Amino acid sequence: MADSITYHHHRSHDYRRSITQFVFAHQIILTFLWTVGFLLIFIWQRSAVDRVLEYRRWAIPSRPIPKLRSLVLDLRDFGAVGDGYTLNTASFEEAIKEIKKRGGGQLNVPPGNWLTAPFNLTSHMTLFLAQNSVILGVDDEKYWTLMPPLPSYGYGREYPGPRYGSLIHGQNLNDVVITGHNGTINGQGQTWWKKHREKLLKHTRGPLVQIMWSSNIKITDITLRDSPFWTVHPYDCKNVIIRNVTILNPLSDAPNTDGVDPDSCENLVIEDSYISVGDDGIAIKSGWDQYGIAYGQPSTNILIRNVIVRSMVSAGVSIGSEMSGGVSNITVENLLVWNSKRAVRIKTAPGRGGYVKNITFRNITFDNVRVGIVIKTDYNEHADEGYDRNALPVIDSISFSGVRGQGVRVPVRIYGSRDIPVSNVTFKDLLVGISYKKKHIFQCSFVQGRVIGKIFPAPCENLDIYDENGRLVKQATSDNSVDADYDA
């Protein structure tokens, strides 16, 4: 038996040695065969992916462009070249001139990268951006027209004197539509931001899209990105709809790239949109200090709903700080603000004048924001030294209901002042999970208002407490409490 075991052991050892010798002797051949096999598998996989992509191209064709006006023009018919290098300003201008001549029409921007300097729209016009079409703004400021300062700002916002116009611009228009199959308007703002930081510009940067003194405006189903300055700026307009838009600017190092800035506008809706920007997501304005007071055109009847916003620098939705013409009758509902510095904010200062009143926030969600609700009355940035220091704004009738949140450092900070108290603030159904355990996480000063029902965290002592049936449970014991320990 021992001899048998020894025999089998030697035989097994000889077998393994022969296999090893075979492998070493034929290493080059085996390596070659392995390499060929790998390449065959790679080629097969790649051809399979190509077949899938080819199938998708066949099965999911480009969406046909709808005919939205009786006259439909194609940008290519005016000599435009969508290679991203050819300047197509003249093509846009000639096409829009033809639309104006014929009383209205639709300009189709087909797939491609259409580089252009700023151009002006006309009334009764639809600008349609096809699937995979991109309007690119030329990033050399010498191509951007200089315009007078906005009359309700009187300055230039960043520098005295003229300002740069917008990439897509319109004045005194009626019935204008900018829409598409999620085509893109790209302002190529990187050069602008760098020059602004290095103080190489002599004039205020221009918005991406600015429509002024116009009515019946629709901006829908497109993407806007990398704006030099504010992205969409309706100025003194009526009956404006902004729906199903995506606005993308870098979250940092892209200064003043607000998403949408309704400015002295009436009857405006922003809905069903996603905004991720380097400043305020939405900022409602109405002029700056004495210039806004003199212009006297408020922002009123504005609805913001079903919007997701991210802003690591500023706030999801702001009112002000330029609100000297007044802001009233604003409803913000079904809003999600995530991974941001602030969620909603009202900001003003002595010298602004005007008012912020009848503001409703309803069904608001904060997800990982530093400060949830902010009202700030010392935002002391002024156009010039000519403002009236006795022009004190009024803040009245602000309500918050259905507020939810998690990962919030300070849920509420309302800082009125002796000169600018905050009146008639209402909180109902507020439940916010906090990430900051210090005592004062609901901060107030010079504020008067009420809490209806139970809320978390506990409110400040400035507010009256009512039960769900409207009966007074506890009267406010202070109008000026708590010191802040951070910048909001």
State pLDDT tens for residues 8-52.
444 444 544 554 454 444 555 544 544 444 344 334 433 443 443
pTM of the predicted model as reported, rounded to 2 decimal places? 0.86
| Cα–Cα distance, 350 to 364 (Å, whole number) | 29
The mean of the pLDDT values for the chain is 88
List, in sequence order, every beta strand (DSSP E) within 280-354.
282-284, 299-311, 315-319, 327-347
HSE (CB half, 13 Å, CA atoms) of 482?
A: 26
Cβ-count burial 99-115 (b if 16+ within 10 Å, e if not)? bbeeebbbbbbbebbbb
Provide the annotated active-site residues: 279
State pLDDT tens for residues 325-348.
999 999 999 999 999 999 999 999
State pLDDT tens for residues 234-253.
999 999 999 999 999 999 99
% of residues, the chain, pLDDT over 70: 84
Q: Tell how many helices (H) and how many strands (E) occur in the chain.
A: 5, 31
Low-confidence ranges of the chain (pLDDT < 50): 1-13, 15-16, 19-20, 22-25, 30-31, 33-60
